[in-house]
A and B are shown apart, each in its own frame.
Chain A
Amino acid sequence: MVIEEELKGYHRNIKDLSLDYYGLPAFDVVDVVNSEEDLPLFEWTELDLVRDKVYIIYICTYNARSTQVDVGCFVNSDFAAANYRNQNCKAEGVSTIGSYTSDPYFFPNFPGYTGGISQIGMMLDPAGIIRMNYQTGQGTTLEMYTGHIRTETAAPYENVTSIHIKCEQGAYMAAGTTIVLARGIG
């Protein structure tokens, strides 16, 4: 029976979690940033996503200036926004709207001194595409985003060795910004 054979194959891919995993920490907090000055960029290097499997980033910030400047999540020192694709949905009051852009901006950091919060989960897929899911709440009038960013490069990535949380321009992440980086434990 084909189905039975398929089921046997499927069930070979089982990991019994009852033995060695119980009680281990869920995620390893790699770094906690609490900036003392306005930031244009914050970056981690010497990362290894193949080893760590997943990165989770939390950021809580605000914009102390008078214009909106988006904040993006770049990887592997690739600061060309066109090398990323971004699809999100936004909830605002009683309406929702979708947006597709070629950039890695996950946080439209509005002026108005309110700021917001984001969380990003990052993994490397088998095709060498770096994928990020994000959730962002921000703004004085309050907007809620859920979105997905992927890399769009000619050659696939084999790893993520650096992550760069970067303003579109200028130092628009205000002093006191908190950023947490956690990893899966490889």
Chain B
Amino acid sequence: MVTLNLDLEHFHRNVFDASIDIHTYASKRSFVPIGEFVLEEDCAGVTFIGLDIIRDKIYHLYANIINASGATDLLYLIFNENYTLSEYRTEKFYGERQNVNATDNVELMSIIPQYGSTGFIHASIMNNPKLKTWALFRAGVTHLIGEPRNYFGTVRMAPDYDNIVSIGVASNVAEGIGIGSRFQIVIGGFTW
């Protein structure tokens, strides 16, 4: 069993409880941001809690991430604070110069081992009737110095969850999500 080696005490400082303001937006029936923050310190992960995918049907996560470490920064989508990577399945394309490649590595993308390198993620997350959690994502990153790489991918959870109550992004390195990184979560399917 592979588990991300996170400093959980440090990690949990970067938590946004999206349940507080969510009903403020309920009547708008729109794709509305319900939580966002800009990191004020380097960390290995961020999490939005207070979610309810049964009620809300779909979430969109947007992230702009800065690598504040000197190591290769692998970034993972995390549901319900489950950091066991073997319980995730990922499939993706990535474009690199003239080549299109495919991989089923579990990370969303990798940011090069250079302080200040950046990448972005847009993920759409839903649960299907079989309680399988699915996400589609697009990501872009500086893969080699000065050269971009783009990703189209999908993530599926192996465990069946009755609900998704938290969504986060985690890195394999302690300072993989650097100060100034931005995160936003958007709700997209009101049923009230």
One of A10-18, A24-32, A70-78, A161-169 at the interface: A24-32
Given contacts A29-B31, A137-B91, is CB(A116)–CB(B134) below 8 Å?
yes
Q: A153 near B: Cβ within 8 Å?
A: no
Minimum Cβ distance to chain B for residue A56 (Å): 9
Distance in angstroms between the alpha carbons of A32 and B187 in the assembled complex: 12
A94 and B102 form a contact (CB under 8 A) = yes
| CB of B113 closer than 8 Å to a CB of A | no
Contact A60 B126 (CB under 8 A): yes
- Which residues from A are CB-within-8-Å of B104? 93-94, 142
Kindly report which residue of chain B lies nearest to residue A185, judged by CB atoms.
B30
- The digit string for B177-190, where 1 denotes a CB below 8 A from any CB of A, is 00000000010111
Chain A residues, Cβ within 8 Å of B188: 27, 29, 58, 180, 182
Minimum Cβ distance to chain A for residue B189 (Å): 4
Q: Judge whether A62 is part of the interface by a CB distance below 8 angstroms.
A: yes
Within the complex, the shortest CB–CB distance from B59 to chain A, in Å, comes to 11
Binds A, one of B13-21, B35-43, B149-157: B149-157
**Total A-B pairs, Cβ < 8 A:** 140
Compute how far the CA of A32 lies from the CA of B30 in the bound complex, rounded to whole angstroms: 11
Write out, one digit per residue, whether chain B residues 93-116 have a CB within 8 A of any chain A CB (1) or not (0): 100000011111000000000000
Which residues from B are CB-within-8-Å of A175?
A: 129
Within 8 A of B (CB), among A53-111: 58, 60-62, 89, 91-96
Set of chain B residues within 8 Å of A96, measured between Cβ atoms: 93, 100-102
Most A Cβ at <10 Å: residue of B91, B124, B138: B91
